[in-house]
Amino acid sequence: MNKQNLLADLHHSGKPYIIYKSNKGFNLYTNFSKKIILNKKNIYKFLNKKNINKKCKKTDLFIGFFGYELLNNLIGIKIPKQKNINLPKGIFYKPETKIDLTNNLNYRNGDNIKQKNNFKININKKTYTKIFDKFKKKIKSGETYQIKICTKYKTSSKINPLDFFCRLSKTNLAPEAFMIKDKNYSIISCSPENLITKKSSLITTKPIAGTVKKNKNMNKVKALNFFRKNLKETKEHNMIVDMERNDLSRICKVGSVKLSKKRVVEEYKDLFHCVSLIKGKLKKGIKNIDIIKAMMPGGSVIGCPKISTLNLLNNQEKENRNIYTGSFGYIKFNGDMRFNIIIRSILNFKNISEISVASGVVVDSNAKHEFNENYIKAKALIDLFK
Amino acid sequence: MIYIIDHNDSFTHNIVHQFSLFDKVECDNYNNVNKAKLKKASIIVFSPGPGNPKDYPITSKIYKEFKSKKKIIGICLGFQQILFCEGAKIVEQKKIYHGFQSSIQVINDKSLFYKGRKFKVGRYHSLKLKEPFKIKNFDITMRCLESNVAMSFENSKDKIYGFQFHPESFLTINGNFLIKKILLA
């Protein structure tokens, strides 16, 4: 049977499934034999599962996501009462089937649902500027060095997630893209950012800080120059590199943490990203839970230093971030892991779609610029609602 | 053993790795300090961290208790913490350096480092030492070449040292050399 038909048939069968970007194309996971809904109590048991050392099958893994709140709870940070849609704090699945797909995902939406596109933003420009100025003062007094304010766009709509994901992968083939389709929710994401790749005792993280749009006048060399000359982007990036070195140093052997790619430009379909790659060798006796607590929530989407900045953010934000700035990925039964940072995503739950975006406040950033930047980031996803 | 007191910073573990190149290191959070480790340590290090020295009275207390009994090293907030305990004022600065690489120079011939030598260093600080600053046995030994802000002090009598910049940052060239020299002093 043709694999594209397989995807369409699977979708229409109503069975839950997950698609995750691989090196060569996409992987499709389905026939889930277990579904684990995480909370702040059972997560320890989930993460403390013993690894098996013998060769594991390609479906010997749990795949799913940790929401932002759960990751805060794990490192002992409480979140004040917020507006909450009661999406589970984290969900993982045990697949019994894994199928390789090519990069060329084709699916024609036969449902013919008229998509509504009347997104509403939860923070207007005026309020945003107020929050922005408040955080700028906190930077001047040294309470934070960099902080990312989250804004949310919402609309009520029924969507066909497979149709959205296929269209999104045509315009933006992001290296950490994924989608989850379950009965009562779906997630469509073109995340570009890998937070953890762990293979036996080797671990890497690949933070992104710095984005520039591609156009006729912007090639890879010019993009690199742009990032080098732009002092604000340079400083933001440097800070993230030192913070990620720090997080890896918590769990890695002394002297093993190395900056193996320093501020290189990666080219995507519509944009350039400025990325670094940091590697380390895990200390003996480090468990997966230690790794997750050291690395999550990923620093590049929070700000720095992590703890005080998380507290400032959580006291400010009135709505639960849900999946945004959480992590999606898998844990294999042999202990290997791959996790991304959930950004550039649509969460559809109870027929409400939400898109969250954030951009950084550092001392020399400008409220109007960052507010517009947020809109640009959301627009690529909002445009799918046509 | 070197005992590093962490102030909830996101750079402290880079310091732990750096100091571990030279000696055994223990690290605890400032509100979870272990008295036995403090006693056992030959060197106490105050880490960087958010906020202002006045937010960390526990660290101030440790400083006062062990001053001139053990070697004490302060980095960024730790640098400010020590000076604050000595009566200096720590103030906001107009231009803020976060993730910034600066050139600094040794300006004092009492320093462990040759006067006139330049270093490239990474900086993450909102606040700075208010000057003029004059306290017995404390010498400002390095300054930023651009802004003239104090970048290090040395007190060779009581063996107390501080860096306003981050010797552990990837932006600092020869950071290990700076630490080694101070550990050997």
Range of the domain at A198: 3-382
Q: Cβ A242–B20 below 8 Å, yes or no?
A: no
- Model pLDDT, residue B126: 94
Please give, rounded to a whole number of angstroms, the shortest distance from the CA of A82 to a CA of chain B. Answer: 25
For chain B, say whether A360 makes contact (Cβ under 8 Å): no
Flag whether the pTM goes above 0.90. Answer: yes
Range of the domain at B27: 2-184
**Can you spell out the DSSP letters for B94-126?**
EEEEEEEEEEEEE--TTSSS-TT-EEEEEEEEE
Give tens-digit pLDDT for A242-253.
999 999 999 999
Can you tell me the ipTM of this complex?
A: 0.96
Grouping H, G, I as helix, E, B as strand and the rest as coil, residue A296 is coil
CATH number of the domain where residue A292 is located: 3.60.120.10
- Model pLDDT, residue A4: 67
Q: Which of B14, B77, B96 sits opposite A242 (nearest CB)?
A: B14
Give tens-digit pLDDT for B44-61.
999 999 999 999 999 999
Residues 237-256 of A with CB under 8 A from B: 237-239, 241-243, 245-247, 249-250, 254-255
- Model pLDDT, residue A172: 86
**Can you spell out the DSSP letters for A221-250?**
HHHHHHHHH-HHHHHHHHHHHHHHHHHHHH
Helix A231-251, helix B12-20: angle, nearest 10: 60
CATH number of the domain where residue B146 is located: 3.40.50.880
Q: What is the mean pLDDT of each run of 10 residues along chain A (386 residues)?
A: 80 96 96 96 90 82 97 95 94 97 85 72 92 92 92 92 94 94 96 96 94 85 91 90 98 97 87 93 96 96 94 94 97 96 96 91 84 86 88
- Model pLDDT, residue A53: 67
Query: How many domains, in total, are found in chain A?
Result: 1
Q: Which of A235, A247, A262 sits opposite B100 (nearest CB)?
A: A235
**Which residues have CB under 8 Å from A365's CB, separation 6+?**
A232, A359
The DSSP symbol for B172 reads -
d(CA B138, CA B162): 10
Q: Do A376 and A147 touch, CB atoms closer than 8 A?
A: no
Residues on chain B bordering chain A, Cβ-to-Cβ distance under 8 angstroms: 8-14, 16-17, 20-21, 49-52, 77, 92, 96, 98-101, 122, 124-127, 166, 169-171
Which residues lie across from B45 on neighbouring strands? Answer: B4, B73
Please give, rounded to a whole number of angstroms, the shortest distance from the CA of A201 to a CA of chain B. Answer: 18
Q: Cβ A144–B8 below 8 Å, yes or no?
A: no
For chain B, say whether A277 makes contact (Cβ under 8 Å): no
**Tokens standing for residue A24:** 């060569």
For chain B, say whether A144 makes contact (Cβ under 8 Å): yes
Q: Cβ B52–A141 below 8 Å, yes or no?
A: yes
Looking at beta carbons, which residues of chain A come within 8 Å of B12?
Answer: 246
Q: Which of B50, B99, B170 sits opposite A142 (nearest CB)?
A: B50
Give tens-digit pLDDT for B107-140.
999 999 999 999 999 999 999 999 999 999 999 9
Query: How many domains, in total, are found in chain B?
Result: 1
Q: Cβ A241–B13 below 8 Å, yes or no?
A: no
Give the catalytic positions of B in this structure.
Answer: 76, 166, 168
In degrees rounded to 5, what are phi and psi of residue B145?
A: -70, -25
